[in-house]
Structure formats: C-alpha cells, structure tokens
Structure 1
Amino acid sequence: MAHIDYYFATISPYTYLCGVRPADIAKAHGATITYRPIDLMNVFSRTGGQPPAERHPNRQAYRLQDMRRRAGMTGLKMTEKPAFFPTNPAPSSYAIIAAQAAGGGDLGALVAGITRACWLEDRNIADDDVIRDCLTAAGFDAALADKGLLAGAEAYHRNTEDAVRLGVFGAPFFITDGDERFWGEDRLADLDAHLSGRI
C-alpha cells in the first residue's frame, strides 16, 4: 500500500487551495496519508526561502496574481489579504496533531476547515474558539484544542526537523514512500499520476 507524508502549514494559502484533494487522491489509490503540520517560517529560514512580507515587491505581486489564478482553477474563493495573516500557526497545528492521534473525524476536512477559516472567512486560526469550531465541524471532539499540547509541540517540532532533513522547502509538500517529492498545490495532479503509475 502506498503512503503519502503531507507536509503543510495551516497559514499557507496553497495548503488552503488543496482543499480535501490530498485525501481524495490517497483514497482513490488505496494509499495512506499522514498529515504533518510544520513551522513554515522555520523551514523557509533554513532552506533559502523568505516570509512573504520580506520578499522583493516583484515576488509579492506575482504571489497575489498566482493565488488568484490558482483559486480560479480550483474553484475555491479566497481572500488575498486576510485579516489574520500572518498569525501563530502553532495552536491549529497542535489541534490537527491531536485529532490525528485521537481519530474519529475527518482529518482532511479539518485541515481544509482551518485553512478556510484563515483564507476565506477572515477568522484568526490562533484563537481557541475558532479551532474548536473547526474540530467540531470535522467530527472531532472540540476539547482536543486543549489536550496534548506538549505532545503537539513535540510532534510539530519533529515534523519541522524531518521536513528539512527530507528535502521539504515549502508548503504544501508531499513525499511518497518511494521518496518522490511534489511541491505545491499545482502538483497534486502529478502526485495522482505518480500513484497511478503514469509517471
């Protein structure tokens, strides 16, 4: 059975634009998927990237155009400059880690819900009430927002270290068990093709 490690950041617009497609692709191929939220700014600083606000104006302008186009291609509406970006991604990441450990809900829907809260609904995903709402909507116990915080912090750090060690430099980033790497929402079709044996 194929496996996908999905490295992502809850504040990443391109993670938002993935929606639930990573889970759908895994299911279509009978693959398992592990959700691995990372500290994207830490990864950027160690792999040659920069936070959006520190990039050259040319890059910032292109990013906004690209986000608009990719939103159109995926059919998802989004706010190009959300009210709560950047914000602290750690609390929402810990909740995803806790939900993955607990089970019982739809993890793909949880990731999509948290990123949608940031990139469409102008909600602060560092806020515990927002996180609880997203957990409930995805079928998880809202109390997971307050549980396993130390374990969540440790897993978040470990995911980030593993990401850098394994070649991750942005988000979303997908690594298969054969060490095929796919960076970006616009490479989901390539991931699908790889799992189909077409490439």
Structure 2
Amino acid sequence: MSKTVTYYFTLISPFTYLGQPRVLELAKRDDLDFVYKPFDIMKIFNEVGALPPVKRHPSHQKYRAAELQRWSAKLGLPLNLKPAHFPVPTQAASCMLLAAMDAGADPGPLVMGILKAVWAEERNITEAETLAAIASECGLDGAALVAASQADGMVERFEASTAEAIADGVFGSPTFIVDDQIFWGQDRIAMLEEAL
C-alpha cells in the first residue's frame, strides 16, 4: 500500500532548489505517491508573521548565506547567493507547473528546471518566453503549457494550493507532510525517509 507525501514548496526558494534532486530520487519509489503543491511564499509569510529574507536582521541574513554556501558545496549544486531575479513573483511559473500536471507530466523535472533557472542560471521566471524555454528543455511543449497556464481558473487554483498549505500548518519551503507529520526544510529529507 502506497503512502502519500504532500510536497508544499515555492518556486523561488533556494532550499527547495537544494533539496529537489533528492526529492526526484525519493519520488521514484513505487510505494510513494508524491503530490506537488506550489504556494505563494509571501502569503505564507504574511499568515505566519515571518519576514522575507531581504527584510530579516543582518545577522539572520548572514547566517542564511553561510548555510546556503555550505549546503551548495556539500551537495555539489551551483548556487548564486545573489541571483539577478530574486525575489520575484512565482504565480506564472506555478500556474505553468499546474498546467503541466494537468497534461500528465511528471512535475519533478520541471520544478528542478525552474529552480535551477533562478539559482544557477540567472533567468527571469516571470517571463513567458523563459518559462516556455525551461519547459521545452524538460521535454515538454513549453508554448502550449504557457498558454494553458493562462486559462481561466489557473490563478485561483494556485491560490487554493496556498490556502491548503496554510490550513496544513506550512510556514516555509520545502515542506513535506506524511501521515500528519510535517517535515520542514531540505535538511529534513533524511528524516522524512526514515519516517517512510
């Protein structure tokens, strides 16, 4: 009997980027059903009273940068600490991801492609052309997915996914929920595996 892992994330999080390769491996397990749920991080921050990184105390910002450098080196993933296009809204990218899932695509590689675009490739994920190119690089029909992402109801679905995250107690990205247990952070993926 398979277990469901609800995977809440934002497509602008460097920690989600660092964790995504391990998510891709975990999602290959036959006994797991991974449910991808993108959310609006700013609405989450507003709900829980958190500050976005650029507004945090300098000591917090300094430690965050150190952690990102450590994890980037440990995992062998290139990461630009000050990407050209951060922070930016993720609505367009998230709606394209929802459209890809509607089309039956595995969302994992597309999530990785979008995150890599921000944190390693200096690409702007608010641009339709950029999103189409990323999707095409993942073997999908990028132009068709961008068009589908702009259909009526897609923004509302993204907003609903954010509301579900809030209702489920999510306060950061990435967050995994299995059997009513919450695992927050890419550094908790090993604990998630143990729980599974």
In 2: Cα distance, 1:179 partner to 1:106 partner: 24
Task: Tell me, yes or no, if structure 1 residue 102 matches structure 2 residue 141.
Answer: no
Q: Which residue is equivalent to 2:46? A: 45
CA contact (8 A) 1:5 1:36 kept: yes
Out of 185-194 and 145-154, give the one that drifted further: 145-154
Q: How many residues end up aligned between the 2 structures?
A: 193
1:106–1:139 CA contact under 8 A, matched in 2:
no
Partner of residue 161, structure 1: 163
For the aligned residue pairs, the C-alpha RMSD in angstroms reads 1.2
Aligned-pair CA distance for 1:30: 1.9
Residues 107 and 138 of structure 1 are in contact (CA less than 8 Å); yes or no, is this contact kept in structure 2? no
For residue 6 of structure 2, what is the amino acid of its counterpart?
D
2:117 paired residue number: 117
Would you say the 8 A contact 2:92–2:149 is kept in 1? no
| Aligned-pair CA distance for 1:41 | 0.9
The answer for the alignment partner of 2:31 in structure 1 is: 30
Give 1:19 shift: 2.5
Equivalent position of 1:68 in the other structure? 69
Distance in 2, matches of 1:29 and 1:169, equals: 29
The CA distance in 2 between the partners of 1:186 and 1:129, in whole Å, is 33
Give the drift of 1:28.
Answer: 2.6
Equivalent pair of 1:131/1:145 in contact (CA under 8 Å): yes
What's the TM-score, normalizing by structure 1?
A: 0.93
Could you tell me which amino acid in structure 1 is paired with residue 119 of structure 2?
A: W
Report the counterpart of residue 192 of structure 1 in structure 2: 193
Alpha-carbon deviations, 1:86-138, whole Å to 9, x = none?
A: 112111011001101111x3321100000000000000011111111111122
> Which runs of 5 or more structure 1 residues have no equivalent in the other structure?
none
Structure 1 stretches of 4+ moved >6 Å: none
Aligned to 1:11: 12
Matched, 1:21 2:22: yes
Identity %: 38
